[in-house]
Each structure stands twice: as structure tokens, then as C-alpha cells.
Chain A
Amino acid sequence: MPHWVDACAAEDIETEDLIRYDHPDGRTFAIYRSPEDEFHCTDGLCTHEFVHLADGLVQGCLIECPMHNGVFDYRTGKAKRAPAYEDLKTYQTKVENGRVLIEI
């Protein structure tokens, strides 16, 4: 059953950047702050290979995998460039009292 999880403080993420959030159940997520100051969340690992997206580069609404240049639109999870073909799973986010919550 999806539920809201307190992942980080909003100020932990710079604009046009992301951080990694590891849930105690073992899952890992990437939380993004867009240039428009919106927060987004996707699975933390590239769908191509086992690489944490949190080490990658955010450019606008895109996240580039730090290993092989696979690119995703982090708002939709859509894979935009090979070698990434499989879309990322996305999660709802909200900000309450300066904290970023993700629904997982």
C-alpha cells in the first residue's frame, strides 16, 4: 500500500540537482529539484545498469546517468537516450513544513 515517507529537507537539494534517498527497506530513490523549484522522485538506479543516478548530471528536466549517458526525463521517467530504453518509475512528492515527502 503506497504511503508517504519523509525523505529529506527541501533545502538539502540544490535547484537543478538531485540527491539519493535510501529507504530502510532497501529501495533507493532519486529526488530532484527542478529549475522551476518543483520536486520530483524516481527510482534511484538507472534502468540500463546498476548505477545510482544521484551521481549524474541534471540539465533542465533531464537526468543523465553518470556511467553511460543514458538520459531520462525525471518528471515522467521517460527514457530519452540510449543505452537507457526502459522508463524509470516515478513517485508523487509533496513539501510540508520544509520537508520533502515521497509516496512509495
Chain B
Amino acid sequence: MDYLRCPIPWCGEFVLDRRNYSLLGEEGRKAVEKGLAAADWYHTKVSRNEMKELMGRTDRYALRDTAIWIAALLLSAGAGIYLWPSWFSVPFWLAYGVLYGSSSDSRWHECGHGTAFKTPWMNDVVHQIACFMIMRNPTVWRWSHSRHHTDTIIVGRDPEIAVMRPPDAARILLNLFGIMDAIEAFRRMFIHVTGRLHPEEETYVPASEHHKVVFTARIWFAIYAATVATAVWMGSILPLMVIGLPRFYGAWHHIMTGVLQHAALADDVIDHRLNSRTFHLNPISRFIYWNMNYHVEHHMFPMVPYHALPRLHELIKHDLPSADGSVWSAYRTVLPVLLRQLRGDNVFLVRKLPDTARPYRAELHDAVGA
């Protein structure tokens, strides 16, 4: 049992059975013992022909979206540089920041799955570029994300649980500006540059892949060093406004959407309807986020490309909790639960299923919901 102090001063001290989210701790071993690791997850029934059609690959949509993305990056950065250091440059940096520091999150993710493009090398190229922007080592994160899909929100197994219990509110708020994630990314990069991996990374990255981690980190280190040197030589932060800093000032959008993927939902369950969230988004945010607001669908069928997720949603929504209508409406249900978790209550949301849905597997999910 851990004694925690709430970050809000008047809350005082409380007792909470705090779980150990480390991949090296006892919880991971318990998850394996309980059969939660690499378990047989619930899937909504979809016919083979429909699933083949949904999984079908094409370069068309990702080529279109990548061309728009690159053009928007170049135009916004170009305008920002042209107007620098005038305040008139600010709107262009804000746009560039989101395109760099948030769109890269979805591009990294989707190309890592190998589903965005039909042509493998196109996935690989965009994956490498997006990983650099979001500061996630492509090899480490490919493997960590593989584990995230195998053991989604299984405590002690999933290395990508963004909102733990109790939630680290300060970390989430600081990450709206990329601060905590980028600091950790640089710390890991420095470890990798020396030829080592973090001990947790060694649990899911095979030894045969370690050299790729180190090679990439050394290239990135050289790029950042050259950017800083250029900034010093110019006596201006402008080079860093283009490379590096957008990961901070443009991070807010991917945190805003990313937190909603699993926050305030169940952990240690093997039904994505209980631990993942689908919500509706405006078209611009869906472009930035590449449709990952359909997150239950994505986790249930990870090989369905982002452009087919709206169709998949229509096909299986009869079996899913109803989607939140917007980011705002999703946060209206999430925030009260996170606040209760901050106070030490071990609560989470269990969304009502429509009458047409198959029920949750109660024998596996018998914890108390909010």
C-alpha cells in the first residue's frame, strides 16, 4: 500500500492501493498468471468477406493525405520563417506546431501498423519521418506498440498506458506542451546513443533489433546537435522553431485526443469495448488524428486502415457502446472519473451497451465501475 499526497493542497494525504505499472514489477507476473497476457480478446462478429474488404490496402488515401500534410507543413513553416520574428508569424507556427507535433503521432502510429499505404516502403519512410518528429524511436515504439495491442491496458504488461490510476494530472497537463514526454524522449535517446536500452525496453525489444535503436538514436542526436549549433551560429531560435520545438508547442492536439483513447475506462479486461473509447471528431481533427477516434474499432481490428475505420464503425456499432458525440462530451464523462481516481477512489467507467450488442464477459470483468 502506498501513501500518496494529492497535488491539490487542500486534499491532504490519502491511502490508495496504488498499482505497479512497471513492466519489471509484480503486476506483470500476476497478469501472466491470471491469463491476461496474450489473451483471447472479444471480437465483434464480422464476415470474412466484409473484413477482407475493410483490410484491403491502397496507396490512394495515404498519398493524398501525405501530400496535403507535407504541403501544409512547408507552407506554414515557410510563412512562419518569412514573417519571423513578427507576431504575424504566430498563427503559422501554431498551425505548423500541430502538423509537426501532433499529426506525427497518428502518422507514426498508422505507418507502424503498416496499414496506411499499400506499398511497404512508403509506410516505412513516413514512419521514420513521423517518429523523428514525435521523438519516438521507431524500433522501440514499433515493439512497444505491438505489446500495447497484445495486452491493451493490462497493468504490468502494456508499456503505453498513458493515464494510470491515480492519474498523474501534472504530467498530462505538462504534456499538452510536450514537456514530460519530450524530456523522457531525450533521456531515452541519450541512453540509446551510448549503445544501451532502458531495462523496460529490453523486455519487449528483441536483442536482434537493438542495433537499429542505437543507430537511429545516433542519427537523431546528430540532427539535433546540428540544429542547436545552427541556432547558436544564427543567434536565433528560428532553426529550433522548425526542428524540435514544434514537438512542444504543437503537442496539445495529440494529447487532447490521445488521452481519450483509454482514460477512465477499465484495466485488466480482455474486451476492447471496456477499455477503449470511440468518439466523434470534426473533419480537421480527424485529418490530424487519422481517424484514431474510432479507437475501439482500431483495437478490435488493428489491420483495418485508418481510412476504412468509419466504415468499420458503421458495420459494428450495434455491438459497441455508443460513441461520444465530441471531444467535449467525452471529457465530460472522463474528467469526473479522473477526479475521483485522484481522490483515491478505485472507479472507472463501464459504458452501457445497446440492446443489439453481445454482453460484456462478466466473469472476467467483475470489478466495480463508476
Chain A positions near chain B (C-beta within 8 angstroms)? 17, 48-50, 55-57, 59, 64-69, 71, 81-83, 85
Q: Which residues of B contact A59 (CB under 8 A)?
A: 57
Interface presence of B102 (CB below 8 A)? no
Closest chain A residue to B124 by CB distance?
A: A81
Q: Which residues of A contact B52 (CB under 8 A)?
A: 17, 57
**Which B residues between 87 and 140 are near A, CB-CB below 8 angstroms?**
113-115, 120
Interface presence of B282 (CB below 8 A)? no
Query: Is there an interface contact between B51 and A83, defined as CB atoms closer than 8 Å?
Result: no
Q: Number of B residues whose C-beta is below 8 Å from A?
A: 22
Closest chain A residue to B212 by CB distance?
A: A82
Q: Which residues of A contact B188 (CB under 8 A)?
A: none
Q: Which residues of A contact B114 (CB under 8 A)?
A: 64, 69, 71, 81
Query: Is there an interface contact between A81 and B120, defined as CB atoms closer than 8 Å?
Result: yes
Interface presence of B157 (CB below 8 A)? no
Closest chain B residue to A58 by CB distance?
A: B52
Query: Is there an interface contact between A56 and B303, defined as CB atoms closer than 8 Å?
Result: yes
Query: Is there an interface contact between B142 and A66, defined as CB atoms closer than 8 Å?
Result: no
Q: Given A56-B303, A83-B142, decide whether A68 and B206 contact each other with a Cβ distance below 8 A.
A: no
Tell me the minimal C-beta distance from A14 to chain B in angstroms.
Answer: 8
Closest chain B residue to A83 by CB distance?
A: B146
Hey, what's the 0/1 contact readout for B289-305 against A, CB within 8 Å counting as 1? 00000000000011100
Query: Is there an interface contact between B209 and A64, defined as CB atoms closer than 8 Å?
Result: no
Report how far A83 CA is from B114 CA in the complex, Å. Answer: 11
Report how far A59 CA is from B117 CA in the complex, Å. Answer: 13
Query: Is there an interface contact between A69 and B115, defined as CB atoms closer than 8 Å?
Result: yes
Report how far A81 CA is from B115 CA in the complex, Å. Answer: 13
Q: List 24 A-B contacts (CB under 8 A).
A: A17-B52, A50-B38, A57-B55, A57-B57, A64-B114, A64-B303, A65-B303, A66-B55, A66-B301, A66-B303, A67-B149, A67-B150, A67-B302, A67-B303, A68-B146, A68-B149, A68-B150, A69-B115, A69-B302, A71-B114, A81-B114, A81-B120, A83-B142, A85-B208
Would you call the interface of chain A mostly helix, strand, loop, or mixed? loop
Report how far A85 CA is from B143 CA in the complex, Å. Answer: 13
Closest chain B residue to A48 by CB distance?
A: B146
Report how far A27 CA is from B150 CA in the complex, Å. Answer: 22
Give the residue of A57, A81, A83 whose beta carbon is less than 8 angstroms from that of B303.
A57
Q: Which residues of B contact A82 (CB under 8 A)?
A: 142-143, 209
Query: Is there an interface contact between A69 and B51, defined as CB atoms closer than 8 Å?
Result: no
Query: Is there an interface contact between B55 and A49, defined as CB atoms closer than 8 Å?
Result: no
Closest chain A residue to B43 by CB distance?
A: A55
5 tightest Cβ-Cβ pairs between the two chains A and B: A69-B114, A57-B55, A68-B146, A83-B146, A66-B303
Report how far A71 CA is from B303 CA in the complex, Å. Answer: 12
Q: Which residues of B contact A48 (CB under 8 A)?
A: 146
Q: Which residues of A contact B208 (CB under 8 A)?
A: 85
Q: Which residues of A contact B51 (CB under 8 A)?
A: 55
Closest chain A residue to B56 by CB distance?
A: A57
**Which B residues between 242 and 263 are near A, CB-CB below 8 angstroms?**
none
Give the residue of A64, A66, A67, A83 whose beta carbon is less than 8 angstroms from that of B143.
A83
Tell me the minimal C-beta distance from A51 to chain B in angstroms.
Answer: 9
Q: Which residues of B contact A55 (CB under 8 A)?
A: 51
Report how far A30 CA is from B114 CA in the complex, Å. Answer: 22
Report how far A87 CA is from B303 CA in the complex, Å. Answer: 21
Q: Which residues of A contact B48 (CB under 8 A)?
A: 17
Q: Which residues of A contact B209 (CB under 8 A)?
A: 82
Tell me the minimal C-beta distance from A46 to chain B in angstroms.
Answer: 11
Tell me the minimal C-beta distance from B370 to chain A in angstroms.
Answer: 30
Closest chain A residue to B209 by CB distance?
A: A82
Query: Is there an interface contact between B38 and A49, defined as CB atoms closer than 8 Å?
Result: yes
Tell me the minimal C-beta distance from B42 to chain A in angstroms.
Answer: 14
For A56, A65, A66, A71, the residue with the greatest tally of chain B CB atoms inside 10 Å of its CB is A66
Q: Which residues of B contact A68 (CB under 8 A)?
A: 146, 149-150, 302
Closest chain A residue to B112 by CB distance?
A: A69
Tell me the minimal C-beta distance from A87 to chain B in angstroms.
Answer: 14
Report how far A48 CA is from B302 CA in the complex, Å. Answer: 16
Tell me the minimal C-beta distance from B179 to chain A in angstroms.
Answer: 31
Tell me the minimal C-beta distance from B276 to chain A in angstroms.
Answer: 15
Report how far A85 CA is from B205 CA in the complex, Å. Answer: 12
Tell me the minimal C-beta distance from B303 to chain A in angstroms.
Answer: 5
Tell me the minimal C-beta distance from A73 to chain B in angstroms.
Answer: 13
Tell me the minimal C-beta distance from B136 to chain A in angstroms.
Answer: 16
